[in-house]
Amino acid sequence: MAVALVPGLIHHPGYLDGPARRRLAAEVAAALAAAPPFTPTMPRTGKPFSVRMSNAGTLGWVSDVRGYRYQPAHPETGAPWAPIPASALRAWAALAGFPAEPEACLINLYAPGARMGLHQDRDEAELSAPVVSLSLGAPALFRYGGPRRGDPTRSVRLMPGDALVMGGPARLIHHGIDRLYPADDLLADDPLTEDPLPGLLPAGGRCNLTLRRVTRATGMPSS
Protein backbone atom coordinates (compact mmCIF):
# COMPACT_ATOMS: atom_id res chain seq x y z
CA MET A 1 0.00 0.00 0.00
CA ALA A 2 1.44 3.35 -1.05
CA VAL A 3 1.41 6.32 1.30
CA ALA A 4 1.77 9.95 0.18
CA LEU A 5 3.94 11.48 2.91
CA VAL A 6 3.45 14.87 1.25
CA PRO A 7 2.14 15.47 -2.27
CA GLY A 8 4.63 13.84 -4.63
CA LEU A 9 6.60 11.95 -1.95
CA ILE A 10 5.25 8.41 -2.12
CA HIS A 11 6.35 5.69 0.27
CA HIS A 12 5.86 2.06 -0.75
CA PRO A 13 6.59 0.05 2.41
CA GLY A 14 7.82 -3.47 1.72
CA TYR A 15 7.82 -2.95 -2.05
CA LEU A 16 10.46 -5.69 -2.48
CA ASP A 17 9.81 -8.94 -0.63
CA GLY A 18 12.60 -11.14 0.72
CA PRO A 19 13.42 -12.98 -2.53
CA ALA A 20 13.25 -9.69 -4.50
CA ARG A 21 15.62 -8.03 -2.00
CA ARG A 22 18.06 -10.91 -2.27
CA ARG A 23 17.93 -10.75 -6.07
CA LEU A 24 18.54 -7.00 -6.02
CA ALA A 25 21.41 -7.39 -3.53
CA ALA A 26 23.09 -9.94 -5.82
CA GLU A 27 22.72 -7.55 -8.77
CA VAL A 28 24.16 -4.69 -6.72
CA ALA A 29 27.11 -6.86 -5.66
CA ALA A 30 27.82 -7.55 -9.35
CA ALA A 31 27.64 -3.82 -10.18
CA LEU A 32 30.04 -3.09 -7.31
CA ALA A 33 32.48 -5.71 -8.58
CA ALA A 34 32.70 -3.68 -11.82
CA ALA A 35 32.69 -0.29 -10.08
CA PRO A 36 34.05 -0.56 -6.53
CA PRO A 37 32.74 1.75 -3.79
CA PHE A 38 34.65 5.01 -3.34
CA THR A 39 34.52 7.74 -0.73
CA PRO A 40 33.22 10.98 -2.23
CA THR A 41 34.42 14.30 -0.85
CA MET A 42 32.68 17.64 -0.41
CA PRO A 43 33.09 20.31 -3.05
CA ARG A 44 35.69 22.93 -2.02
CA THR A 45 36.50 21.56 1.45
CA GLY A 46 37.42 18.03 0.35
CA LYS A 47 35.86 16.66 3.55
CA PRO A 48 34.99 12.98 3.06
CA PHE A 49 31.37 11.83 3.06
CA SER A 50 30.49 9.24 5.71
CA VAL A 51 28.58 7.35 3.00
CA ARG A 52 30.56 5.34 0.46
CA MET A 53 29.20 5.33 -3.08
CA SER A 54 29.29 3.82 -6.49
CA ASN A 55 26.94 3.92 -9.46
CA ALA A 56 25.40 1.87 -12.20
CA GLY A 57 24.06 3.22 -15.47
CA THR A 58 25.32 5.33 -18.33
CA LEU A 59 25.91 8.22 -15.92
CA GLY A 60 27.04 8.18 -12.31
CA TRP A 61 26.84 10.91 -9.70
CA VAL A 62 30.17 11.89 -8.16
CA SER A 63 31.36 14.58 -5.78
CA ASP A 64 34.86 15.84 -5.16
CA VAL A 65 36.65 19.16 -4.61
CA ARG A 66 35.66 20.19 -8.14
CA GLY A 67 31.95 19.86 -7.37
CA TYR A 68 28.97 17.59 -7.91
CA ARG A 69 28.43 16.15 -11.35
CA TYR A 70 27.38 13.17 -13.45
CA GLN A 71 30.01 11.32 -15.44
CA PRO A 72 30.11 8.14 -17.53
CA ALA A 73 33.09 6.57 -15.77
CA HIS A 74 34.28 5.66 -12.29
CA PRO A 75 36.41 8.48 -10.81
CA GLU A 76 39.16 6.13 -9.63
CA THR A 77 39.28 3.27 -12.14
CA GLY A 78 38.11 5.22 -15.21
CA ALA A 79 35.94 2.24 -16.19
CA PRO A 80 32.34 2.71 -17.32
CA TRP A 81 29.70 1.96 -14.71
CA ALA A 82 27.92 -1.40 -14.89
CA PRO A 83 24.36 -1.48 -16.30
CA ILE A 84 21.56 -0.60 -13.88
CA PRO A 85 20.36 -3.76 -12.06
CA ALA A 86 17.36 -5.32 -13.80
CA SER A 87 15.29 -5.35 -10.60
CA ALA A 88 15.90 -1.63 -10.13
CA LEU A 89 14.79 -0.95 -13.72
CA ARG A 90 11.61 -2.92 -13.06
CA ALA A 91 10.91 -0.82 -9.97
CA TRP A 92 11.42 2.36 -12.02
CA ALA A 93 9.06 1.11 -14.75
CA ALA A 94 6.41 0.31 -12.15
CA LEU A 95 6.75 3.36 -9.93
CA ALA A 96 8.21 6.31 -11.81
CA GLY A 97 5.34 7.06 -14.18
CA PHE A 98 7.90 8.45 -16.58
CA PRO A 99 8.26 7.25 -20.17
CA ALA A 100 12.08 7.21 -20.36
CA GLU A 101 14.57 4.98 -18.56
CA PRO A 102 16.72 6.20 -15.70
CA GLU A 103 20.35 6.90 -16.62
CA ALA A 104 21.87 6.89 -13.15
CA CYS A 105 21.60 4.47 -10.27
CA LEU A 106 23.53 5.88 -7.35
CA ILE A 107 24.52 3.15 -4.89
CA ASN A 108 24.87 4.54 -1.37
CA LEU A 109 26.58 2.35 1.22
CA TYR A 110 25.99 3.33 4.84
CA ALA A 111 28.12 1.67 7.50
CA PRO A 112 26.60 1.95 10.98
CA GLY A 113 27.10 5.59 12.03
CA ALA A 114 27.01 6.99 8.48
CA ARG A 115 24.47 9.67 7.64
CA MET A 116 23.53 11.99 4.82
CA GLY A 117 22.83 15.65 5.54
CA LEU A 118 19.75 17.49 4.25
CA HIS A 119 20.11 18.24 0.55
CA GLN A 120 18.14 18.50 -2.68
CA ASP A 121 18.64 16.26 -5.71
CA ARG A 122 19.04 18.95 -8.32
CA ASP A 123 21.97 18.05 -10.54
CA GLU A 124 19.62 16.57 -13.15
CA ALA A 125 18.39 18.42 -16.24
CA GLU A 126 15.18 16.34 -16.34
CA LEU A 127 13.29 17.49 -13.27
CA SER A 128 9.96 16.20 -14.59
CA ALA A 129 11.21 12.67 -13.86
CA PRO A 130 10.94 11.55 -10.24
CA VAL A 131 13.73 10.08 -8.15
CA VAL A 132 13.01 6.46 -7.19
CA SER A 133 14.90 5.00 -4.26
CA LEU A 134 15.12 1.44 -2.93
CA SER A 135 16.47 0.44 0.46
CA LEU A 136 18.23 -2.72 1.62
CA GLY A 137 19.73 -3.65 4.98
CA ALA A 138 19.42 -1.69 8.20
CA PRO A 139 16.38 0.53 8.75
CA ALA A 140 17.10 4.24 8.53
CA LEU A 141 15.51 7.48 9.61
CA PHE A 142 14.76 9.50 6.46
CA ARG A 143 14.12 13.22 7.04
CA TYR A 144 12.18 15.31 4.54
CA GLY A 145 11.20 18.95 4.41
CA GLY A 146 10.23 21.32 1.67
CA PRO A 147 11.80 23.07 -1.28
CA ARG A 148 13.37 25.72 0.97
CA ARG A 149 16.15 24.80 3.31
CA GLY A 150 14.44 26.23 6.39
CA ASP A 151 11.09 24.53 5.74
CA PRO A 152 9.85 22.35 8.62
CA THR A 153 10.86 18.70 8.41
CA ARG A 154 9.32 15.37 9.37
CA SER A 155 10.81 11.92 9.29
CA VAL A 156 9.87 8.39 8.32
CA ARG A 157 11.63 5.10 8.91
CA LEU A 158 12.75 3.38 5.72
CA MET A 159 12.85 -0.39 6.02
CA PRO A 160 14.65 -2.88 3.79
CA GLY A 161 12.61 -3.42 0.65
CA ASP A 162 10.88 -0.04 0.90
CA ALA A 163 10.62 2.15 -2.19
CA LEU A 164 10.33 5.91 -2.08
CA VAL A 165 9.35 8.08 -5.02
CA MET A 166 10.14 11.78 -4.94
CA GLY A 167 8.44 13.53 -7.82
CA GLY A 168 6.12 16.30 -8.93
CA PRO A 169 5.76 18.89 -6.17
CA ALA A 170 8.22 16.90 -4.01
CA ARG A 171 10.94 16.57 -6.65
CA LEU A 172 13.07 19.31 -5.10
CA ILE A 173 12.35 18.84 -1.41
CA HIS A 174 15.22 18.74 1.06
CA HIS A 175 15.87 15.29 2.47
CA GLY A 176 18.56 13.24 4.14
CA ILE A 177 19.33 10.28 6.35
CA ASP A 178 19.65 11.16 10.05
CA ARG A 179 20.84 7.77 11.15
CA LEU A 180 20.61 4.02 10.81
CA TYR A 181 18.96 1.91 13.44
CA PRO A 182 21.52 -0.42 15.00
CA ALA A 183 21.04 -4.05 14.05
CA ASP A 184 21.27 -5.06 17.70
CA ASP A 185 18.65 -2.50 18.72
CA LEU A 186 14.95 -2.64 18.00
CA LEU A 187 15.01 -5.10 15.13
CA ALA A 188 17.48 -7.71 16.33
CA ASP A 189 16.72 -11.08 14.73
CA ASP A 190 14.25 -9.51 12.32
CA PRO A 191 14.75 -11.32 9.01
CA LEU A 192 14.14 -8.04 7.18
CA THR A 193 17.45 -6.63 8.39
CA GLU A 194 19.61 -9.34 6.86
CA ASP A 195 23.15 -8.31 5.98
CA PRO A 196 22.53 -7.27 2.36
CA LEU A 197 26.04 -7.12 0.92
CA PRO A 198 28.42 -9.29 2.93
CA GLY A 199 32.04 -8.32 2.29
CA LEU A 200 31.01 -4.98 0.79
CA LEU A 201 29.17 -3.46 3.72
CA PRO A 202 29.75 -4.08 7.43
CA ALA A 203 27.02 -5.96 9.31
CA GLY A 204 24.29 -3.56 10.35
CA GLY A 205 24.91 -1.43 7.27
CA ARG A 206 22.43 -0.13 4.75
CA CYS A 207 22.42 0.09 0.97
CA ASN A 208 20.22 2.57 -0.87
CA LEU A 209 19.79 2.78 -4.62
CA THR A 210 18.70 6.11 -6.07
CA LEU A 211 17.50 6.01 -9.67
CA ARG A 212 17.43 9.20 -11.68
CA ARG A 213 16.84 10.43 -15.19
CA VAL A 214 19.65 12.95 -15.76
CA THR A 215 19.37 14.33 -19.30
CA ARG A 216 16.19 15.71 -20.85
CA ALA A 217 14.14 12.88 -22.30
CA THR A 218 13.32 13.64 -25.93
CA GLY A 219 9.67 14.20 -26.75
CA MET A 220 8.84 15.40 -23.25
CA PRO A 221 6.89 18.62 -22.96
CA SER A 222 9.24 21.38 -21.82
CA SER A 223 8.66 22.69 -18.33
Ligand X SMILES: O=C(O)CCC(=O)C(=O)O
* Nearest CB to ligand X, comparing residues 130 and 218: 130
Residues whose CB is less than 8 angstroms from the CB of residue 141 and which lie 6 or more positions away in sequence, other chains included: 155, 156, 157, 158, 177, 178, 179, 180, 181
Nearer to ligand X, 89 or 109 (CB): 109
**# of chain residues touching Mn ion (CB under 5 A):** 1
CB atoms within 10 A of CB 127: 15
Q: How many Å apart are CA 204 and CA 213, to the nearest integer?
A: 30
Q: How far apart are CA 139 and CA 10, in angstroms?
A: 17
Find the binder of ligand X among 142, 165, 171, 180 (CB under 6 A). 142
Picked from ligand X, Mn ion, none, the partner binding residue 142 (CB below 5 to 8 A depending on kind) is ligand X
CA distance 156 to 174: 14
Between 89 and 177, CB nearer to ligand X: 177
Q: Choose, by CB under 6 A, the member of 31, 106, 132, 214 that binds ligand X.
A: 106
Which of ligand X, Mn ion, none has residue 116 at its interface (CB below 5 to 8 Å by kind)?
ligand X
The smaller minimum CB distance to ligand X, of residues 95 and 177, is found at 177
- The answer to whether residue 121 forms part of the interface with Mn ion (CB under 5 A) is yes
Half-sphere exposure at residue 175, Cβ-oriented, CA atoms within 13 angstroms: 24
Is residue 124 a contact point for Mn ion (CB under 5 A)? no
116 binds ligand X (CB under 6 A): yes
CB nearer to Mn ion: pick between 79 and 148:
148
Task: Outline where the chain has alpha helix (H).
Answer: 18-34, 86-95
Give me Rg for the CA atoms of the chain.
Answer: 16
Pick one of ligand X, Mn ion, none as the site partner of residue 106 (Cβ within 5 to 8 A by kind): ligand X
The answer to whether the beta carbons of residues 198 and 134 sit under 8 Å apart is no
- φ/ψ (deg, to 5) at 145: -130, -130
Minimum distance, C-beta of residue 177 to Mn ion, in the bound complex (Å)? 9
Among 58, 87, 133, 193, binds ligand X (CB under 6 A): 133
Residues of this chain that bind ligand X (CB under 6 A): 106, 108, 116, 121, 133, 135, 142, 158, 175, 177, 208, 210
